[in-house]
């Protein structure tokens, strides 16, 4: 190629570069950051546990729970706990809140298998739980894998008892059984969406009968006796419980080169952790920083712990009013990164992606200008001006980033919390980590992309 063409191309063409081919960051730094993430992710198996773990980390980093009686000044670190399932972390800036805040919003709920209100039954002398899956899953992926059980019983005496069983090596696990191939001739003819049906997601929890000469449901009775001894509950207490089955076990390095992390629940704790760490990294921000860890994204962001609730709006109103300002002005002037994952290009399934606009592993944090589906339906579609500003602050700080769309036009699509924040008058765009096998019991991300997402959120918090 002649030099003129080469020079012109390098001047004029946009070229994506694999971040690991550049020497912008030492992989040791990336790996050290991800060790913290792996530790967090291994504990944050549900929205409640993610909140609990985030609060513990925040308190260790000097954050204190918000109090209406306090007067906060620049540099103060506060957290807002929304019903133990969603969290806001604030670092007060030197500028008035009315001048706008910098928001990073991720979600901490992940697809899983919830227990029904009346879950426990016995059939053919086996004890099982009836379930109702949560979020978008391929149901067949959730059979024949070890499951842990997490959640709470709110007992009739008003006390709450936490349940956590199946994560430690010496603890039992649970499992949704599947048919053996020998007897699955009819099952495998079902379409994949029905290969396992919702009402077939029954969790096996025991088989030992209570020793008695007569009586029915003795296996169930024995299970209730164990639960009563361990948690002090009776069967009616299931009616006021939230119990979630999630894949058992800890995150693991993936690959000979250990460049990837495999785990349950990357979506979206892989963005929640960078939000947390960016909040901890800012000390004296000009603009007040807010990290929101939301619940219920996987089911549409409804409910009082989801992003469609007034939690964020009122949090900002509280901060503005404390300074004698107005929340709506603060929101109007605010900037937000909706930190959520996107689908990484998978070479085994190239047909669903449009190559020029798909995010790729190790190409950094992925900016998703719009989500939605079928003609951008249901997206907030970030403005060119705001994307331009984000692009500038990322480039100035050497943050490796790329753009992505969720699959081919009219094929894929999806949503994040971005539009609910945009509806408050905030400038917002999606930015996050590309994921392989999204919503599977074992999702995969690249360590480099996780670290770049952290740097991107930190850039939002620090930029003037």
Nearest to Mn ion of 268, 427 (CB atom): 268
Expressed in angstroms, the distance from the first to the final Cα of the chain is 43
Q: Which of 333, 338 has the CB closer to Mn ion?
A: 338
Q: Which residues contact 352 (CB under 8 A, 6 or more apart)?
A: 407, 408, 411, 412
Classify residue 416 by burial, with Cβ atoms within 10 Å: 0-12, 13-18, 19+: buried
Q: Which is nearer to Mn ion, 112 or 335 (CB)?
A: 112
The CB-of-189 to Mn ion minimum distance in angstroms stands at: 30
Half-sphere exposure of residue 349, counting CA atoms within 13 Å on the CB side? 11
Least CB distance from residue 275 to Mn ion, whole Å? 13
Q: By C-beta, is 270 or 390 nearer to Mn ion?
A: 270
Nearer to Mn ion, 53 or 268 (CB): 268
Q: Least CB distance from residue 438 to Mn ion, whole Å?
A: 6
Residue 193 or 207: the one with the smaller Cβ distance to Mn ion is 193
Spatial contact of 132 and 114, defined as CB atoms under 8 Å apart: yes
CB of 341 to Mn ion, least distance (A): 5
Name which of 167 and 430 has its Cβ closer to Mn ion. Answer: 430
Helix axes 27-43, 266-281, angle to 10 degrees: 120
CB of 300 to Mn ion, least distance (A): 11
Taking the complex as a whole, how short is the minimal distance between the CB of residue 395 and Mn ion, in angstroms? Answer: 26
Helix (H, G, I), strand (E, B) or coil at 403: strand
- CA 283, 394, 340, 150 dihedral sign is negative
Collapsing DSSP states into helix, strand and coil, what is residue 460? Answer: helix
Comparing every residue's Cβ against Mn ion, the nearest one is 268
Q: Which residues contact 143 (CB under 8 A, 6 or more apart)?
A: 175, 176, 177, 178, 196, 201
Cα–Cα distance, 440 to 450 (Å, whole number): 19
Q: Which is nearer to Mn ion, 433 or 455 (CB)?
A: 433
CB of 109 to Mn ion, least distance (A): 9
- Report, in Å, the least distance between residue 432 CB and Mn ion: 8
> What is the closest distance, in whole angstroms, from the C-beta atom of residue 252 to Mn ion in the complex?
21
Q: Which residues bind Mn ion (CB under 5 A)?
A: 267-268, 340
Q: Where does residue 272 rank: exposed (0-12), middle (13-18), buried (19+ CB within 10 A)?
A: buried
Measured from the CB atom, the residue of 30 and 433 that comes closer to Mn ion is 433
> Dihedrals φ, ψ of 228, to 5°?
-65, -40
CB of 268 to Mn ion, least distance (A): 4
Instruction: Single out the residue of 275, 251, 257 nearest to residue 108, CA to CA.
Output: 275
For residue 129, the cross-strand partners are: 120, 203
The beta strand positions in 83-234, using DSSP E, are 86-91, 102-107, 112-123, 126-134, 147-154, 160-165, 175-176, 203-206
Please state the closest distance from residue 381 (CB atom) to Mn ion, in A: 18
Angle at 201 between CA 198 and CA 203, to 5 degrees: 155
Closer residue to Mn ion in complex, CB, 267/317: 267
- CA–CA gap between residue 313 and residue 425 (Å, rounded): 10
Report the alpha-carbon distance of residue 263 to residue 437 in Å, rounded.
Answer: 10
Q: Which helix (H) or strand (E) holds 445?
A: strand 443-446
Q: Judged by CB, which is closer to Mn ion: 62, or 136?
A: 136
């Amino acid at each position: 190629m002649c030099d003129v063409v080469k020079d012109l191309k390098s001047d004029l063409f946009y070229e994506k570069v694999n971040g690991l081919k550049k020497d912008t960051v030492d992989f040791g730094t990336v790996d050290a950051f991800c060790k913290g993430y792996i530790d967090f992710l291994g504990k944050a198996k549900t929205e409640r546990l993610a909140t609990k773990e985030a609060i513990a980390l925040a308190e260790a980093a000097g954050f204190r729970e918000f109090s209406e009686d306090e007067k906060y000044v620049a540099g103060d670190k506060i957290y807002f706990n929304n019903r133990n399932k969603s969290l806001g972390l604030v670092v007060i800036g030197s500028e008035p809140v009315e001048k706008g805040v910098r928001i990073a919003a991720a979600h901490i709920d992940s697809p899983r298998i919830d227990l029904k209100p009346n879950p426990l039954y016995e059939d053919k002398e086996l004890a099982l739980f009836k379930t109702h899956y949560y979020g978008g899953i391929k149901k067949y992926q959730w059979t024949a894998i070890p499951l842990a059980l997490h959640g709470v019983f709110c007992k009739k005496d008003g006390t709450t008892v936490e349940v956590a069983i199946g994560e430690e090596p010496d603890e039992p696990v649970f499992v949704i059984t599947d048919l053996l191939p020998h007897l699955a001739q009819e099952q495998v003819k079902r379409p994949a969406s029905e290969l396992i049906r919702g009402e077939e997601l029954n969790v096996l929890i025991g088989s030992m009968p209570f020793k008695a000469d007569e009586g029915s449901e003795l296996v169930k009775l024995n299970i209730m006796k164990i639960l009563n001894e361990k948690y002090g509950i009776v069967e009616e207490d299931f009616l006021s419980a939230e119990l979630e089955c999630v894949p058992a076990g800890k995150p693991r390095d993936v690959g000979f080169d250990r460049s990837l992390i495999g785990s349950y629940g990357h979506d979206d704790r892989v963005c929640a952790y960078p939000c947390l760490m960016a909040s901890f990294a800012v000390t004296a921000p000009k603009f007040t920083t807010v990290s929101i860890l939301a619940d219920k994204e996987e089911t549409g962001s409804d409910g009082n712990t989801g992003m469609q609730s007034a939690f964020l709006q009122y949090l900002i109103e509280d901060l503005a009013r404390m300074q004698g300002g107005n929340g709506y002005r603060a929101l109007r002037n605010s900037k937000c990164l909706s930190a959520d994952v996107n689908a990484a290009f998978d070479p085994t399934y190239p047909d669903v992606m449009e190559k020029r606009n798909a995010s790729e592993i190790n190409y950094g944090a992925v900016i998703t200008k719009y989500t939605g589906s079928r003609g951008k339906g249901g997206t907030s579609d970030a403005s060119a001006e705001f994307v331009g500003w984000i692009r500038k602050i990322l480039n100035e700080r050497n943050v490796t980033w790329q753009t992505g769309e969720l699959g081919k036009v009219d094929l894929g699509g999806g949503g994040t919390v971005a539009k609910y924040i945009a509806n408050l008058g905030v400038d917002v765009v999606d930015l996050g980590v590309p994921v392989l096998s999204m919503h599977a019991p074992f999702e995969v991300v690249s360590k480099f992309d996780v670290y770049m997402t952290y740097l991107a959120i930190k850039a939002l918090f620090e930029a003037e």
